[in-house]
Amino acid sequence: MTVRLVRDGDRVAAVAVGSTRPFAAPRVFVGRTGAAAAAMVPQLFSVCAQAQGVAAAAAVEAAGGGTAAPPTLAARTHVAVVETIQEYLWRMLIDWPQALGLAPDVEAVAAVRRRIAPALAALAPVARRGDGRMETDDDDPLAALAPALVDLATRHVFGVTPAAWLALPPADALAAWAARAPTTVARLLHELLVGSPTLARSSVALMAVPDRAALRAGVVPGLRADPAFERAPQWDGAPAETGALARMHAHPFVAAIHARCGNAVPARLAARLVELAVLVDDLASGALDDRAATWSDAFALGPGEGLAAVQTARGLLLHHVVVADGRVAGYRIVAPTEWNFHPRGALVAGLATLAANDEARLVRDARLAVQALDPCVGCRVEVVHA
């Protein structure tokens, strides 16, 4: 992906996003059985591959009028949440330090991946199969993972356990923590709150809670009417921001910063921090199943037509499948990146507000804005002159 800013004196005159996402990839599923198509999906994606697999299996299942067993439904939520935790820690410990010119914490990220890989390997087959049967002898792959993630998050992100962090006094707790905590993550948030509180602020609306009724009203009409919907999706006919800020803006920690900053980089990073703490704490306390209704869902839109909605680190992922005579007749994937990097979306609107009198600062700020919305493909920032 390329983000190009046209600089005209001290202002950004135009912003253009060139996507490199393979929109044609789902065409390879046409003509295959639903099961075969769903099995192929995780192999096509290097980022959020397991969430993609969950969405594919759920969409095909819904198109066929099936209902997954309760253990499968639970596994789908667990896979989506655990993969989100992995993605958050990767960005916080690799990309965020680099934004400050510091060395990334590669060993901590490697430790995260070593811990998470066995759990995902055990859960993913259950999540993609409707009968809920576990293929390993480990009845609870999350039991050993939870304390390890609590320890990693404590040492490398929060400075205290996620539970203790979430229990901080709510009056501007996050800003106060960022000012004093020793972690690199806290330092970056503090620098942004002090020096760039409204960096890349956007007026694009945050996505509503995407439950079934909201999806039917806000997304399905456009999905059916626009053959290119997945390239520039809209909610009720307008771009929408998806991701951690849309999900967590009402949390007291995030709400305090959101009130000061709006839909800007500091609020997006704060929302990720809070959601990481909540998800790790839920994992440790066994409360992840309470998120089943909001993290993974699928339903039939008509005979042979299914829609799956799965939350990921970057936001809402949709898989839409049409099956006829036992074969896939149509398959579409709407990725979170296409919501946030829409031509009139949150990133473009935010970049248009940046000051351009210092080109090096412009590039740095643009990169931070991109990181805060985190595309699922590599991204290059270019500045050209009008």
Q: What is the mean pLDDT of residues 104-130?
A: 89
Give the DSSP letter of residue 377: S
* Higher-confidence position of 44 and 84: 84
Beta bridge partners of 15: 5
Q: What is the mean pLDDT of residues 359-377?
A: 90
Token pair recorded at residue 197: 């509180």
Instruction: Provide the CA 232 distance to its chain's centre, in angstroms.
Output: 17
Answer for the pair 178, 165: CB distance below 8 angstroms, yes or no: no
How far apart, in whole angstroms, are the C-alpha atoms of residue 310 and residue 106? 28
The pLDDT, as a whole number, for residue 262 is 97
How does pLDDT run across 181-239, given as a tens digit for each residue?
999 999 999 999 999 999 999 999 999 989 999 999 999 999 999 999 999 999 999 99
The pTM of the whole model exceeds 0.75: yes
Query: Does the domain spanning 2-385 belong to CATH 3.40.50.2000?
Result: no
pLDDT band at 43 (very low <50, low <70, confident <90, very high): confident
Number of H helices, E strands in the chain: 18, 7
Helix (H) or strand (E) holding 220: helix 220-225
The pLDDT, as a whole number, for residue 145 is 92
Answer for the pair 199, 269: CB distance below 8 angstroms, yes or no: no
